[in-house]
Amino acid sequence: MRQAFVFPGQGAQTVGMGHEIAQHSPAARAVYALADHALGWSVSELCFAGPEAQLTATENTQPALVATSLAVLAALAGDVDQIVPYTRQHAVAVAGHSLGEYSALVAAGSLSPAAAIQLVRQRGELMAAATSGGMAAVIGLDDDSIDQICRSVSTPSAAVVVANYNSPGQTVISGAVAALEAAGEALKAAGAKRVIPLKVSAAFHSPLMHDAAQALAAHVARTTIVAPVIPVISNITAQPLQTPADIASELPAQVESAVRWVSTIQYLIADGVTHFVEIGAGNVLSGLIKRIAPEATTTTITDVASLEAYRAQFTN
């Protein structure tokens, strides 16, 4: 069986995430301790006990989710230092949805856990500081039609673009408020079942995030990045990131570019992956994967029971 490990992004967070597995696993506790030290405040307490309003703030959500994904992966591997060897032994590739790409890069050995957690805190602060525009989920319309409509209603001063190609029939658009509203009306007229405004502070994964991307690039330039030991599939191109330079370019550009999750999963399926293991909080990605590739099998690992069940089935 060819497996890929996948890691969730923003929106998967819940108060209490990681608490049980940290109680059970010294390796998971070590990751949370490392994250607390890297940040200078207790992200572990925020994950375990909230409050929810604080956890869902973008600047907090991002390090909290990466810490939780890495804690679960460390528990699976048995030790923080075994994350990369374990991943290399059991997965043929890794990928993460938006923010989750940082967890994937740690799993592949390109970023240290501390560096990833510090970077996503900076990323979250920069994204939270952006206040222009908004986002909406489009349900029940094909991507080509959505792309065309976004282009048709955009103007040089008010653009809207596809931000997330999540699964067939579920796409997210992002951009200036006026363009979002015009796109919403046109999309419904074209047959979209629903156009749902999202509760976000800005137009993530759109050109309106350019300043945040440029600022993040300065932080990335000061971070040690090494070549991945297994393929990390890019959110932007849905192709493997192969060099430190590739990764250093990817991380800032990702903030203002579309997340091509459908193409990412299709690439992995074409490469022979038959099983996807979602590691961290929630099961959002498993649901998307089943809609993209119904023939694939999925496992989610979020707690002790799911971790032990996976070990019993796949690693013994």
Where in the sequence numbering do the catalytic residues fall? 98, 205
Provide the b/e sequence for 163-199 (b: ≥16 CB within 10 Å): bbbbbeebbbbbbbeebbbbbbebbeeeebeebeeee
Contact 5/69 with Cβ under 8 angstroms?
Answer: no
CA 278 to CA 116: how far, in whole Å?
A: 19
Q: Is 155 helix (H, G, I), strand (E, B) or coil?
A: strand
| DSSP alpha helix (H) spans, 58-99 | 58-77, 83-90
Quote the Cα angle for 295-299-303, to 5°. 165
Q: How far apart are CA 57 and CA 294, in angstroms?
A: 34
Residues 6+ apart with CB under 8 A from 295: 269, 274
Name residue, tokens 């282009």. Answer: 151
Phi and psi angles of residue 288, each rounded to the nearest 5 degrees, phi first: -65, -45
